[in-house]
Amino acid sequence: MGALALWAVWLRVGQYGLTPARVAALTGAAITLAYGLAFALAVLRGLGWMARIRRANIALALALVALAALWLTPVLDAERLSVRSQIARFEAGKTPADALDLWALAHDWGRAGTRALKALRAPGHPRAAALAPALARLDAAPSRYAYHAEDHDAAAAKAVADATTYDDLRVLLPVVPKGASLPAHLEGTETAAGSIRLQNVANGCARRTPAGAPACVAIVGNFSLKPGQEEVLFLYWTGSHIATEALSETPFMRDLTNGTKLQMTDPGVLDAIQAGNFTLAPLPVQVLTVDDIAIGLLP
């Protein structure tokens, strides 16, 4: 498992470079691998394996102390290593200017990040022209969210900023199935909690799917346990996963094959839904019905 974890993190580093979180993940995976190898070798050598494991524990504990000390030095300074990795990728053309996380350099990665950002701002930098829009965005952004929100389409971002009511949001939202439309009034939108939920959906609409569509969708259907009553289920991309919102019910996503909570991390799912590549069907479960009361278990 340690080798698999180390390999997985290393692949990620190869794709996107180091970040402090990835430096920590690499370190943790290496420690796990070291313990696994030490214990495996102790057992495979036969008799006396318990004594060998005790000696291995002492040696590994001392190694961890040394590693912790190195973590506080430039040798394993996660911020310095991350800055060097990201800047090297940028200068090699592996990372485009608009994908370089200038906010992290300015606010999260300490003095190493500040020094790197100062160098990027230098007028003589060979990629100064490409960096200019991103640097201007950084200077204007009051928060991390505002900075990354500028990655969205400008017109969509403005529409989201202006979307303060349900009526505003109805203009932004793609609606499925084909021919369905959002009701003129949706119960729950006037409450404070409803407004927060709508803003979450609007923020998702400002993002883009891989196909370039708004990263949100409203699905109209009978999702409740009340026959004939249509509900509106909102799906939207948060930047890391697809989230759900509903105004009158608490939505859930489950893997019906095993009943576990499901988290969708591919924004392309929203493209598939908007293209109509889905089905709406009753939940395939049995319920006990007696005197018009249905008793059962939701997965």
242: how many CB neighbours lie within 10 A of its CB? 23
pLDDT digits (tens, 9 = 90+) for 67-77: 999 999 988 89
Last residue of a domain, one of 149, 175, 200: 149
Last residue of a domain, one of 76, 98, 113: 76
Q: What integer pLDDT is reported at residue 162 of this predicted model?
A: 56
Q: What integer pLDDT is reported at residue 262 of this predicted model?
A: 66
pLDDT digits (tens, 9 = 90+) for 89-135: 998 888 888 788 898 999 999 999 999 999 999 888 888 888 888 88
* Mean pLDDT across the chain: 80
Give the domain range for residue 34: 2-76
The answer to the question of residue 231 being in a domain is: yes
The answer to the question of residue 296 being in a domain is: no
SS3 265: coil
pLDDT digits (tens, 9 = 90+) for 245-270: 876 555 666 655 555 566 778 888 88
The answer to the question of residue 263 being in a domain is: yes
Of 31, 19, 113, which is closest to residue 68 (Cα–Cα)?
Answer: 31
Comparison of pLDDT for 120 and 181, the residue scoring more: 120
Q: Is there a single domain that holds both residue 202 and residue 110?
A: no
Q: Is there a single domain that holds both residue 40 and residue 99?
A: no
pLDDT at 84 over 90: yes
Q: Is there a single domain that holds both residue 105 and residue 215?
A: no
pLDDT at 241 over 70: yes
Question: Could you tell me the two tokens for 242?
Answer: 């697809």
296: how many CB neighbours lie within 10 A of its CB? 11
Residue 30: pLDDT band with limits 50, 70, 90: very high
143, 203 contact by CB (below 8 A): no
Last residue of a domain, one of 18, 53, 76: 76
Bridge partner list, 255: 260
Q: Is there a single domain that holds both residue 98 and residue 40?
A: no
**Interval 176-203 mean pLDDT:** 77
Instruction: Give dist(CA 236, CA 216) in Å, integer.
Output: 4
Q: Is there a single domain that holds both residue 84 and residue 41?
A: no
Q: Is there a single domain that holds both residue 194 and residue 247?
A: yes
The answer to the question of residue 292 being in a domain is: no
Q: Is there a single domain that holds both residue 34 and residue 88?
A: no
Q: Is there a single domain that holds both residue 176 and residue 268?
A: yes
Cα–Cα distances in angstroms (integers) from residue 165 to residues 84, 152, 171, 234, in the given order:
45, 21, 11, 15
- Is the preceding peptide bond at 177 cis, omega within 30 degrees of 0? yes
Domain count of the chain? Answer: 3
pLDDT digits (tens, 9 = 90+) for 190-206: 667 677 777 788 888 87
Q: Is there a single domain that holds both residue 28 and residue 140?
A: no
Q: Is 147 exposed, middle or buried (0-12, 13-18, 19+ CB in 10 A)?
A: buried
116: how many CB neighbours lie within 10 A of its CB? 22
Q: Is there a single domain that holds both residue 158 and residue 270?
A: yes
